[in-house]
Every structure is written in C-alpha cells, then in structure tokens.
C-alpha cells in the first residue's frame, strides 16, 4: 500500500489485512477453486485467459445484467464470514462470490466493478501480484498501486471503489482470488428477488 509520512493510506477506501487465511487453508481453497471447473471469462466473442466461477450472483457481461448463480458452497461460508468481519459488514450482505484462477499470461484490464455491487473484499492466493489503480484527471491519470500479498485480504470501498479503476498485470505464475461483494442501492433496485 502507498502510505504518506504518517502511515495513512493514500487511496481512501482501501484497507488490507495480512493472513486472513493460513497456508493450509490457502492450499485447500486453491484445490476447491480448481474443482469448481472455472470457465474462461467471455465478452463479445472474446475469450479471456482468466477462469471464473460465480456463486450467489453472476454478472452476465454478454447480457449486461446480473443473473442468479448457485448458492455459495459450505466450504466458502466460513471464509465469507471472515471477510465480512474484516470489512465490518454483516456476512449476509456479501451476496456474491467470484472465484478466479489467473493462469500464466492472464491478468485483468482496467475496470471499476459493476455498479450493482458496493463493497468488494478480495483474498489473494498463490503468486504475489500488484493491483494498479488510476483515476482520470483533467490531464492524464493519477496512478497508485498496492501489493496483493498471498493469504491477505483487501477491501475496496468509497473513493477507491467508485472513483478509481483497478487492474492486475499479466503474470508468469498462477494466482487465484476470491472476491465477495455486497449489493449497492442500484443493485437492490435492479436485482430480481
């Protein structure tokens, strides 16, 4: 994380916590993610190298809307509860889980998460990575970055979630992530019940 002289996060709304899972849990979660048979992210005929499985809700990028997905499996619920405690949220508010496997050569391009979602809490597994952030300014972009430490959690809320875009550069070695999301006010109006 970028810090100023007083150790204050430069990106308001970004919070991190080391070791939200231990090494045994990391191994278990990676096996579980792989066992869900994650599928390539598809968008407008383009197939990405990033493999994903969604629980709770999935965002259908082709249709441009959220669709219901399988409920979160039992093995994921204690992890969701831990993520919620870290973010100081009621675990039941985390209605979506996205499991991602980044094979070598896979990354994620510049984006903001869909507006139907509010809080984003991520857990990094496998290879260390860097999350890059940028925000448009009158001239060019303001930029920042934060390390994604294996087994650590990050929470994107407020300005870093709404005003900044984020991306992860392609890596040579595999990384997995689990992200949990709560609904936004827009999402509460949009999602079918």
Q: Is 113 a residue that touches Fe ion (CB under 5 A)?
A: yes
Interface with ligand AKG (CB under 6 A), residue from 33, 95, 98, 146: 98
| Mask for 105-134, x = binds ligand AKG (CB under 6 A) | ---x----x--------x-x----------
What residue 98 binds from Fe ion, ligand AKG, none (CB within 5 to 8 A, per partner kind)?
Answer: ligand AKG
- Give the number of residues written for the chain: 193
Q: How far is CA 48 from the centre of its chain?
A: 17
Tokens for 61, please give them.
Answer: 């990028």
Strand partners, 96: 181
Contact 52, 39 (CB under 8 A): yes
26 scored as a contact of ligand AKG (CB under 6 A): no
Binder among 16, 96, 157, 179 for ligand AKG (CB under 6 A):
179
Which among Fe ion, ligand AKG, none contacts residue 177 (Cβ within 5 to 8 A by kind)?
ligand AKG
Alpha helical stretches, state H, 38-193:
77-87, 158-162, 185-190
């Amino acid at each position: 994380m970028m810090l100023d002289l007083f150790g204050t996060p430069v990106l308001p709304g970004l919070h991190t916590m080391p070791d939200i899972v231990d090494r045994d849990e990391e191994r278990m979660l990676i096996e579980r993610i792989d066992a869900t048979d994650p599928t390539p992210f598809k968008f407008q005929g383009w197939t990405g190298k990033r493999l994903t499985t969604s629980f709770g809700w999935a965002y259908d990028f082709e249709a441009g809307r959220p669709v219901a997905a399988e409920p979160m499996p039992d093995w994921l619920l204690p992890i969701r509860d831990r993520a919620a405690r870290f973010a100081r949220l009621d675990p039941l508010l985390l209605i979506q889980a996205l499991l991602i496997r980044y094979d070598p050569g896979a990354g994620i391009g510049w984006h903001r998460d869909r507006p139907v979602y509010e809080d984003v809490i991520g857990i990094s597994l496998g290879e260390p990575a860097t999350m890059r952030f940028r925000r448009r300014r009158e001239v060019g972009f303001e930029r920042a970055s934060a390390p994604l430490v294996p087994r650590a959690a990050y929470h994107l809320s407020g300005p870093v979630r709404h005003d900044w875009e984020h991306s992860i550069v392609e890596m040579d070695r595999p990384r997995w992530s689990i992200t949990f999301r709560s609904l936004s006010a827009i999402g509460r109006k949009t999602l079918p019940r």
